[in-house]
Every structure is written in C-alpha cells, then in structure tokens.
Structure 1
C-alpha cells in the first residue's frame, strides 16, 4: 500500500538553541499524512529517530494502519541534523559542517511546538516515538502536558545512560580517527571512518541472540560479515559525517530533567507526565534495556510497560520482523483506543 505524504519546510527564522547560539534562517522539515479536522486536534506527532527521515516508519502510517490516516493527521517533523531540517550539511558559514551548533532534544521540541502552533493545532492525540523519537516523546509530555494526551515511547529512554553514551563515543572515535575527516572539513566523505562506524554499530542494534539464531538470513544475508557489508556499510556510507556526529551528540546528552525546573531530578520529571503512556522497550535491546524502561514506567503516574518480544532488539523498530511489527502495531491501536 502506498501512503500519501506531503513534504514541507517551515521557516523558524532566527532560532535560539539551548546553549545560547542563535541560528539564522533555521528550518524545520516535516511531512504530513491524512487530514486535519475542524477542531485541529486529531494530530499524531511522529518525530524522526537517529539518522532517519519519516520514511523509516511509514510502515505504520496509512489508511487502516496503526497510525491511521483515515482518522488522524500525522505530522512527522525531522530532527535537526538529519539533512532535511537545518543540519551541518545544508547550512552556510559560519555554522556549516562541524561548526553547526549542538542542539538538545528540548531544542527540537521547541521548534516542533512552534510549527504546531503555526498550524493551529489544539490537541495531540498521540506522540509516537521510537529510539530518539521516544526521547522527544518524553520531552513533549513533560514540556507541553496540556497538549499531549498519549505517549508511545518505544526503544528509547528519557535520559541517555552512561553505558549508552560510552558506546556512542566509541562510534564517534571510529569516525574521527579517519584522517580524511579533517576535523569535519573533508573534501570527500571519510569513507573509511564511516565503514568503521558501521562495524562498531552492527552488533549493537540487533541482539547477540539475533546472530546466534542467524536471523540475518531472513534479511537475505548468508553470513554475519555479509550483513555488515551489505546492510550496515551502505547505510552509514550514505550519511553525511557531520550530520551523523551532530545527532550523535544530541543522543549522548538527552535528558528531560536537564533544565532549571527539574535540575537533574529525573524521577520528578517523569512523575509530572500526565499523558497516558505506553513505555515499550524491546527484549534484548543493548541501548535501552527493559529494566531501564521498567524504572521509567514505575515513575510515570499513568504508564504501562509493554515489552516487544523476540531477539531483534533495537532492530524491532524497523518493521522487518513480522511478530515485532505486529506487536508494535497492536500496542499503538490499544493505546489510541484507551
């Protein structure tokens, strides 16, 4: 089934980031699906996750699908740094390349809120987020509780753990060690560094059991090495290295309690979430373990923990594994029916 998508770019003009930098001519790319109702409150917000565009989760969007465009107006804003919204790869000096400002999850949500205000949105039925999208969903629920009725946070935390941040720093080190990276001012893509990132990343998104069970064969690869060379290397090789590192920093520093109101008190921030929330980790997800998600759910007043079963780990988000895709879809339908 082909889903109808309309792509737009919203001018944020001079946009202030959390670190005090003001980005002139800032832009927020976003895609929409379905029709906004007269009350302007049938909105599902679905922000992009790490190094992605809205196409990554279009398997969930369309008539009769979990994010049902016969009923809802789905707005999918792109994160800063993904190459569509303002990013190192599409911004002019003095904020080009590695000089593009660091941005927080909160910066992205403030930009998205500005967009929805311009669209006249009066209510959000659901914020759906996977991975870095889940981080944004938590931020939305804390920052704008009067707008958000439901949250579906899959395979992502409200604060990046030290363990996860250390993994990300390893991927960063693999990239910048390529001499052709040249501090971000490369004349051609740092191909060796991006291949190194692919190899570092490849055993982390699926679980170890995924490899033990040779699940990569279901994706058309005969060996684990073919999986790295045929899937991960093309994926990361197509990314702009500065865009990758820019979003990596945002992931490393994600924390909904990093503000004057909460001053690092994560439990208090989670306790202020009023939306009906499904916390949806995947079994065997190396980035976002089930026990971390269970702690978050225990601190959110109206939260339920729903664990995606199986061995695909973080890879469960991509819709390639039928049982994981079905579980995610049915959980979204259950939440929207609540």
Structure 2
C-alpha cells in the first residue's frame, strides 16, 4: 500500500486479466471515509463512474446523509482507466508500447475484493452503491460475490451494456477519435476538437427530451441553449485524458455480469446468483440506461432477499442519478438508500 496525496494505492502485483493478458504491477487507487468498526460490518463500497475520480463523487458522503461517514466505513475504489488507478496515462512504464488492455468489470471487482480482504480483513459489505458505470460495478459485486454483499443499490446502471447503450458509446468514440490527434490507436496530443465534439454528443444523450423541451437549463442561469451547451458540455471532458476515456468506454461496452467462466454468458443464471437486498434505481428519463432493462432484470433476481425497482421521477435524464445540484433527485436517492440500509 502506498499513499498518494488524499488517496492510497493498493499494489495488486501482476494480475492475469479475463482476457488472459497479464497486467504487470496493477495499481488500484482508493480513498476511505469514516472508521471500520470492531465487527467490520459497517462497510460501504462506492465505485466511481465514467471519467470520474473519487473526489468527483464525494458529494454523496455527508453527515446525516445515506452515506454517513460517522456511521459507515466507506471505500471509494477508483475504476481502472480513470487516471489514478492503472490507466493508459500512467502505465507506459509497465506496458511500454503495448496497447492498454481491456480491463473488465469482473477484473476490477476482483481487485477491489482483494483490497477489502487483504488490506482490511473485510468479509461482509453492508452496501455496494454505484451510479452509471459505478452501478454496473455494484451489479457485478452482487452477482460475483453474493455471500459478501448484503445490499446493493444500482443507480442508472444495468447488469449488462444493452445494444442501444453500446451504440451511444460508438457515437462518443467516433466523435473523439475523429480528431486528427488520434493516430495508430492512440492520441499523440490532446484532441481538443474531439473532446468538444464528444461533449456535444453526450449533451443530447445525457439529458432528456423534457429537459430540453421545457428549457430546464434556464434554472441554472443560462440565457440560451447555446450558452448551456458551451459551458456545461463543450468542456465537460477537457480535464480528462482521451486515451483513459477510450479505455473506460471499452470496459463499459463489454460490461456483462454473466460474461465469465462461472456463468458462461447465461444472464438468468448470473442474476439468480444474487442474494443481496437490491434496489434498482433507473432514471425515469435516462436515454441510455433505459429503465426497461432494470424492469426485465427484476424478475430474474429470483434468489435476492428482496428486489425492488424504484425509478427516479426526474426529467434530468441520466444526470438524475448524480444530482449534485438537483435537490429533489438528491432527496429521492438519499431516502431510497437510507431505507435500504435500514432493512
């Protein structure tokens, strides 16, 4: 374990990935909040979402909130490819000129589990909570480690990446890699035009039809739609490394809880493995993690201690699951998660 500023590094060593490729000296960045109790039963795992680092999702960890650091020991593992854990931007020393490999959610959760067990001696997790790519990780946790996970909250996520979702990501990739800076499978310099184009593509998918129809962006002080797009989306990904974004898109597109030796692609069998109390919280107007995927999954969670579908009644699309400045959606999520933790 190493310390890097406000977070720590778990040195996982040489890890054989699902693909069969060995990643030398794989590193998992993480941050903890609160204290582990004597029984080690107050653990919440809170994985990061697309392009996010732990500092981007700390807003949900607050005294009196659902993720209360005075009651729980909260661990945020940074997903591979986010620039803190092993990523294209920080792994040239280990990989040389070899391309960055696909790291699946199964790979990520396996290393996260090693962190909890080897570093802290944790055998039970009170809750795995995640939004978007974090929600997909929460699903993988509940499926792959059913004896360890007591509760799971999947917010704007799904058990696998749907074809519709994958097409959205193809549009994002196409916008980003159309930049002249993309050569021979990687970026030779920062693709500023590609990152702006990516933001514009994201703007249409991340928010809902109703959000734009009702000009809801005016509530945030924008005088025109163009002002909203330019300020909120043109630079949305400018602070991230483009190769890192591509690596996480690959993880996302290949996401499937059943894509492993244990389940051999059988989604029904994978979802039947879940034993946790699980709440699926899709955004009612989310355009790429469609609530109907969660509805279909609900009936397959046949062995879960309880399984509930609680769509977030919001016009903020996918952003309803990350409502930093949306009080109503924030209150809905806090109430749902608090109820789950009390069950």
Instruction: Give the shorter-chain TM-score range.
Output: over 0.9
Quick one: distance in 2 between partners of 1:179 and 1:147?
47
**Structure 2 residue corresponding to 1:317, chosen from 318, 321, 324:** 321
Q: 1:270 to 1:189 in 2, by over 3 A?
A: same
Quick one: distance in 2 between partners of 1:193 and 1:180?
9
The structural deviation recorded for 1:69 is 1.0
RMSD of aligned Cα (Å): 1.5
Quick one: distance in 2 between partners of 1:205 and 1:172?
15
- Tell me the equivalent position of 2:159: 158
Query: What does the per-residue CA deviation read over 1:28-66, in whole Å, with 9 as the maximum and x for residues that have no partner?
Result: 000110000112221000000111012232222122111
1:240-251 to 2 correspondences below 5 Å: 240-251=241-252
Question: Which stretch of the first structure deviates more once superposed, 57-66 or 302-311?
Answer: 57-66
Unaligned runs of 5+ in 1: none
Quick one: distance in 1 between partners of 2:21 and 2:289?
31
Q: Is the counterpart of residue 328 in structure 1 residue 329 in structure 2?
A: no
The structural deviation recorded for 1:105 is 0.6
Quick one: distance in 2 between partners of 1:183 and 1:192?
18
Quick one: distance in 2 between partners of 1:88 and 1:186?
11
Instruction: Please state whether the residue corresponding to 2:201 is helix, strand or coil.
Output: helix
Q: 1:237 to 1:334 in 2, by over 3 A?
A: same
Quick one: distance in 1 between partners of 2:281 and 2:273?
19
Q: 1:94 to 1:43 in 2, by over 3 A?
A: closer
Instruction: Please state whether the residue corresponding to 1:151 is helix, strand or coil.
Output: strand
- Tell me the equivalent position of 2:61: 61
Unaligned runs of 5+ in 2: none
- Tell me the equivalent position of 2:26: 26
Instruction: Please state whether the residue corresponding to 1:128 is helix, strand or coil.
Output: strand
Quick one: distance in 2 between partners of 1:93 and 1:122?
34
Quick one: distance in 1 between partners of 2:298 and 2:274?
11
Give TM-score scaled by structure 1 length: 0.95
- Tell me the equivalent position of 2:274: 273
- Tell me the equivalent position of 1:175: 176
Q: 1:337 to 1:18 in 2, by over 3 A?
A: same
Quick one: distance in 1 between partners of 2:7 and 2:338?
25
The structural deviation recorded for 1:185 is 4.4
- Tell me the equivalent position of 2:234: 233
